[in-house]
Structure 1
Amino acid sequence: MPPSPTAITPETIAQITETDVAQLADRLETDNYESAFESLKDWHLLRAIAFQRPELAEPYLYLLDLEDCDEA
């Protein structure tokens, strides 16, 4: 997996593979981080992947706990 970027760019997301996303999801599932900030980096990366390349993130959307918002 490419190192977690400080700024997630479209170029970064374009280079991510299905294997990278599976490894990212595995880290999020095991939740074995030294700090909450490390897990947040992975969570934000998965979220960016879900928006820019949804086909890669679809099996792992449950990790994002996204809810529909009704702003009406």
Structure 2
Amino acid sequence: MATLTLTLRERDLMALTADDVAELAGRLERDDYTNAFEGLDDWHLLRALAFQRPELIEPYLYLLDLEGYDEA
């Protein structure tokens, strides 16, 4: 799995397709990693996509567990 994660990570975020993101989300859902760092790398990639390509990750927002915070 590390090779696939590194391959995705090195790619330009703009080149990722909906299928690439579905594969990434699937790994996160299954927690399909040999160590915690691989999962964290995928989570960071999904988070980067949330800011740069939000249309691709909309079905997978629940994986990011983003919450609004009231700092007032």
Q: TM-score range by the shorter chain?
A: 0.7 to 0.9
| Alignment of structure 1 residues 37-48 onto 2, 5 Å | 37-48=37-48
Distance in structure 2 (CA, Å) of the matches to 1:54 and 1:24: 15
Distance in structure 2 (CA, Å) of the matches to 1:5 and 1:48: 10
Alignment length (residue pairs) = 68
> Aligned-pair distance for 1:5?
2.5
SS at match of 2:32: coil
With structure 1 as the length reference, what TM-score do the two structures score?
A: 0.86
Percent identity, please: 62
Distance in structure 1 (CA, Å) of the matches to 2:65 and 2:45: 14
Structure 2 portions without partners, runs of 5+: none
* Larger relative helix fraction: 2
CA RMSD of aligned residues (A): 1.8
**Residue aligning to 1:32:** 32
Distance in structure 1 (CA, Å) of the matches to 2:45 and 2:34: 18
> Aligned-pair distance for 1:50?
0.7
Q: Give per-residue Cα distances to partners, 1:39-58, cap 9 Å, x unaligned.
A: 00000000000111100000
Distance in structure 2 (CA, Å) of the matches to 1:24 and 1:59: 12
Q: Give per-residue Cα distances to partners, 1:6-59, cap 9 Å, x unaligned.
A: 6xxxx7110100000000000000002000000000000000001111000000
Distance in structure 1 (CA, Å) of the matches to 2:13 and 2:42: 13
Q: Does residue 13 of the first structure (1) align with residue 13 of the second (2)?
A: yes
Corresponding letter in the other structure for 2:7: P
